[in-house]
A and B are shown apart, each in its own frame.
Chain A
């Protein structure tokens, strides 16, 4: 904790564009709109913003040029950040440190993506090149990535499926366990007006959905969305004169395992959350038992399950029993992914769990509001379990 309490970091603004199958706009346009919305939400103006952190999704196009698009003058902090799904959390961390240090007073952190186009399937966006499909003549790929892709090893779906299978083999985790997560999150999404998928979902629906890459059914996989989300990080003192209930950034940490992929490798079994979780909770001065709501990165159902174990909500290897026993969902004992997450609500990478966490801490969740909501854990996961960022947010300092 910094010596100067007035400079403790607070999220004071949240801006969310229309999300989902929103066509005809660039990622840069979504990013600019998200920042404008976040500033308006906070009750300040673009002229108050003196820091800007940007991050891209898969479509690119969000970068330093956003300063020009928003006519931001005399910025004291400007950078493009990249850690895949961990970036949103990492941006809030850097913004928080800049505010604490007095380097900047009001930092906008934004993510936007526009991978969807009419007529292009969501699967095509993330599945990568596929071995044996030599349709149109393309340049022959090279490098180690080209070699792996030539044998079918490419795309997030396949690599995460290999991670999930390892968990299943080691701990007896089942596809029905994964399904329990999909069902629970859909139940939350049913009460979220922002969610893309709100129709009820059963375990049978999950099991009947087609294989994307076995052991993942379609309903184990996140949506793909166009849109943008921004948050405004400022100081506790500055936040007092702003419009929204302050969301205190109480603790944070990152973990980047840097796997060797050699004997005893724990790929698929343990994620960076095992290190970033306790570190962030320690900085916040709270225990896991004091966490009221968990917003966990859910590119796949499996990612939620392994993250629950790594944060310590259940023992390592017992994630399957934990989730299939009814721990999740609106009636469960752990309020987790209360907006429906990326599986059912919207896919804005790390901004999905972060945005829902801000809504929950503020108490603005409407029909899906968790109570109590004093301490909310936010987990971001990037790459193939390569990058982890944890935030602990709360209604006030402990």
Chain B
């Protein structure tokens, strides 16, 4: 299992509905169509509180990454698998933070093309991850 469990609440429900349908939803303001991160409560550019959920293209570029070693703690005290956490800049502008799956951290480079993928964990919501494009 690469991702952990997360449940929905009022502020994240629409986002998780999108993820379950294979879409990464961001916010766009109604007045001007500026793109903002999913978490915002007002448009990052103009401050409008009239926000719509819209699907992002899913394309991104790599901004930064970090390798989190697997923790010990299983029955045989063996370390779990490492994960690689990245910051990606969506093609629409907003940053998103998630783990990248299926990538060798030694091969990563700043600006590298990424795409959003989705992973689900039994009993939790589907969550966005990054993949090498």
Contacts and interface: CB of A to CB of B under 8 A. Distances in A.
Contacts of A333: none
Interface stretch (A38-46, A127-135, A234-242, A360-368): A127-135
B87 interface: yes
Nearest to A268: B64
B66 A130 contact: no
B52 to A, nearest CB: 17
A130 B95 contact: no
A316 interface: no
Nearest to A160: B66
A213 B67 contact: yes
Interface residues of B, number: 49
B97 A132 contact: no
A397 B91 CA distance: 53
Contact of A129 (B1, B4, B98, B127): B4
A152 B37 contact: no
A303 to B, nearest CB: 15
B63 interface: yes
Contacts of A214: 66-67, 69, 105
B4 A262 contact: no
A260 interface: yes
B7 A262 contact: no
Contact of B99 (A131, A140, A211, A215): A131
Contacts of B73: 133, 135
A158 interface: yes
A14 B79 CA distance: 44
B66 A161 contact: yes
B16 to A, nearest CB: 8
A132 B74 CA distance: 12
Contacts of B68: 130, 152, 158, 213
A152 B99 contact: yes
A263 interface: yes
Contacts of A130: 4, 68, 71
Given A150-B6, A213-B67, A261 B129 contact: no
B127 A263 contact: no
Of the four ranges (under 10, 10 to 19, 20 to 34, 35 or more), the interface on chain A belongs to 35 or more
A169 interface: yes
Interface string A144-183: 1011111111000010011101100110000000000000
Contacts of A163: 64
Contacts of B37: 261-262
Given A131-B4, A135-B73, A152-B99, A162 B11 contact: no
A265 interface: yes
A209 to B, nearest CB: 12
B104 interface: no
Nearest to A259: B95
A260 B12 CA distance: 19
A384 to B, nearest CB: 11
Nearest to B83: A152
Contact of B7 (A131, A146, A152, A215): A146
A110 B2 CA distance: 42
B6 A152 contact: no
A2 interface: no
B69 A140 contact: no
Interface in A263-300: 263, 265, 267-268
Nearest to B67: A214
B64 A131 contact: no
A149 B97 CA distance: 10
B123 A140 contact: yes
A9 to B, nearest CB: 37
Contact of B5 (A134, A161, A215): A134
Q: Which of B38, B44, B95, B119 has the most CB of A within 10 A?
A: B95
B121 to A, nearest CB: 7
Interface in A108-138: 129-135
A360 B112 CA distance: 47
Interface string B40-79: 0000100000000000000000011111110101000000
Given A146-B6, A211-B67, 9 more contacts: A133-B80, A141-B6, A146-B7, A152-B4, A158-B68, A165-B64, A165-B65, A169-B64, A213-B85
Nearest first, the 7 closest Cβ-Cβ pairs linking A and B are: A161-B66, A214-B67, A131-B4, A150-B6, A261-B95, A140-B7, A166-B64
16 contacts: A131-B2, A132-B1, A140-B6, A140-B123, A140-B124, A144-B39, A150-B127, A151-B85, A151-B98, A152-B4, A162-B65, A169-B110, A210-B69, A260-B44, A262-B93, A263-B93
Interface of A: 129-135, 140-144, 146-153, 158, 161-163, 165-166, 169-170, 210-215, 260-263, 265, 267-268
